[in-house]
Chain A
């Protein structure tokens, strides 16, 4: 059914279709609407779940950790400072291989305090062992949440999945979203959770035991491998979703007008809409330009990136987070992927913009394309600064 839904409502409805048993959360802007909608669904009896409103994000993540270890489906959501507060729990959830699904409403990090969108929060947890997917619009956010449970609960993955959605730009924006009418059809796509190891009085296991130097590395290696393997499962989950529900956004990446492109813009999240519009205009004026969308930031889609960029001249990477003391984050990883494959004919230019909710406009994109033709391997340079505040 096609409906006009606020992004948060679309996400909450996607989560409802997955029928999680335990949900726990703590309010933080711009995530709050998601869990408000979910708690209303529980209050109205539209979702049979234990909804635990906790006293902090640290406990929100800990509650879903404990519940997940019992073998039930779990969900939480947060943003920004809340994510940083739960970071050690996310490491722990991943280390214990618990398939928690979580929404991250991407928001800037304090100081200065700023409630608006960028991706610094996501970048801060990129090494936790959580799978990190990024949605471009509300429809993809809805669909991606259902896929997220399938990926997380795969027996060969068993890792938390974090679905990134741009704060406000997606969470608070109304768009047409086609929701799935049949929960049975979702059940067919996403079978009941079935964990081999769980807290069960009939078959007791000890979780979270001490890993001494003789075993710790092996445990981390297993996690590392599962993350690598999840590439296949993310792609499979997207394909199966397409077969069943007809919608597809690519596997780990997606491309737009890439085939003959000399210039490629790489980005994640909602900014892709603006970029695609700008690319259409540039194409009309004869530029050979296209877009590579990163749908899975972790695991990093190295092979797809290399295949998409190897014939380009200029690559423009939109950096919505900074790495002080180095430069860009995404552009560094892309450059590394190309270097590993001995491709040195591509100039990878990382430009920082859109921090703390500053708009990224079509004009920004046009300007970057013009700049990138003259520049080489820009390392996260800030774009559009106001001189008066420096």
Chain B
């Protein structure tokens, strides 16, 4: 899949302070292998910004800028405009990055603006399903029934009481040329999508499922396995869309019950206590089944 040169070009390098087993840093590395030297990156406030650029050190061998939490897409719009003004846009990829909170919550407005103006920017949302950098608080992309520090489980609660916001479909509603969902569990698929996004002019949205060791509370060795299970259960459908149309989905080879995915994670531990918990797991199974049906995953 990759040429020798691509695998040897590391533009997101070792030495950063991400957690062991961090699926986000792994995904960034995979993405940068494809995007290469001629990339300018923006970064929302969040884990990636904190663990990759502790001054005077930086893990980035490309020009990189972090401004604030909610403006990664707007800063990227400005970078693109400046490149255009200088006549330098051709051959340079503008990469905007944010976590799920920086993308789908506080950054949604600036992202929508960037989409609607159709800037030639690839926006990547690293989705770990909560505000991990501040210590696991609920976001709009936190999955149903997940424990976070602001959607805790308790006598009166099974954790987050709302399903995950369908962010990729919000992107598609902007009729941007390319939207894709990928996973840290499927690196080849992720890189294929990045390659495609790189070749398309206009606004692109890529959402990557990135398991988080301290936030999801699991053993670091399960990062890839969990990302794969999210796909195989139907909880995290991987697909590609051009404008409003879905053009491909990653089929599930053998449907896995959601319990297999949930039981490895501390954030769902409370669901494995008694009948009420079992009923909640049934609800999560229903979400997965609906995804399988809606996206035609099987």
Q: Is A52 an interface residue (CB 8 A)?
A: yes
- The distance from the CB of B11 to the nearest CB of chain A, in whole angstroms, is 9
In whole angstroms, what is the CA distance A210 to B62 when docked?
Answer: 17
- The distance from the CB of B59 to the nearest CB of chain A, in whole angstroms, is 9
In whole angstroms, what is the CA distance A50 to B61 when docked?
Answer: 28
In whole angstroms, what is the CA distance A69 to B63 when docked?
Answer: 10
Q: Is the CB of B75 within 8 A of A66?
A: yes
Q: Is B58 an interface residue (CB 8 A)?
A: yes
Q: Is the CB of B78 within 8 A of A92?
A: no
Q: Identify which of residues 61-97 in chain A touch chain B, using a CB-to-CB cut-off of 8 Å.
A: 62-72, 74, 88-89, 92, 96
Q: Is the CB of A72 within 8 A of B82?
A: yes
Against B, the Cβ 8 Å flags (1 = close, 0 = not) of A21-59 are 110100000000000000000000000011011111011
In whole angstroms, what is the CA distance A55 to B54 when docked?
Answer: 32
Q: Is B26 an interface residue (CB 8 A)?
A: no
Q: Is A204 an interface residue (CB 8 A)?
A: yes
In whole angstroms, what is the CA distance A96 to B67 when docked?
Answer: 9
Cβ of A62: which chain B residues have Cβ within 8 Å of it? 67-68, 71, 74-75, 77-78, 110
Interface of B is mostly: mixed
* Residue from the list B43, B53, B81, B83 in contact with A63, Cβ < 8 A: B81
Cβ of A205: which chain B residues have Cβ within 8 Å of it? 63-64
Number of interface residues of B (CB under 8 A): 43
* Residue from the list B64, B74, B78, B110 in contact with A207, Cβ < 8 A: B64
- The distance from the CB of A194 to the nearest CB of chain B, in whole angstroms, is 13
Cβ of A22: which chain B residues have Cβ within 8 Å of it? 78, 81-82, 85
Cβ of A226: which chain B residues have Cβ within 8 Å of it? none
Residue picked from A52, A63, A215, most chain B C-beta under 10 Å = A63
- The distance from the CB of A45 to the nearest CB of chain B, in whole angstroms, is 15
Given the known A-B contacts A72-B85, A210-B55, are A66 and B113 also in contact in the complex, defined by CB atoms under 8 Å?
no
Q: Is the CB of A209 within 8 A of B67?
A: no
Cβ of A127: which chain B residues have Cβ within 8 Å of it? none
Contacts from A to B (Cβ < 8 Å): 21-22, 24, 49-50, 52-56, 58-59, 62-72, 74, 88-89, 92, 96, 198-201, 204-212, 215
Contacts from B to A (Cβ < 8 Å): 37-40, 42-43, 49-50, 53-56, 58, 60-68, 70-71, 74-79, 81-86, 92, 109-110, 112-113, 116-117
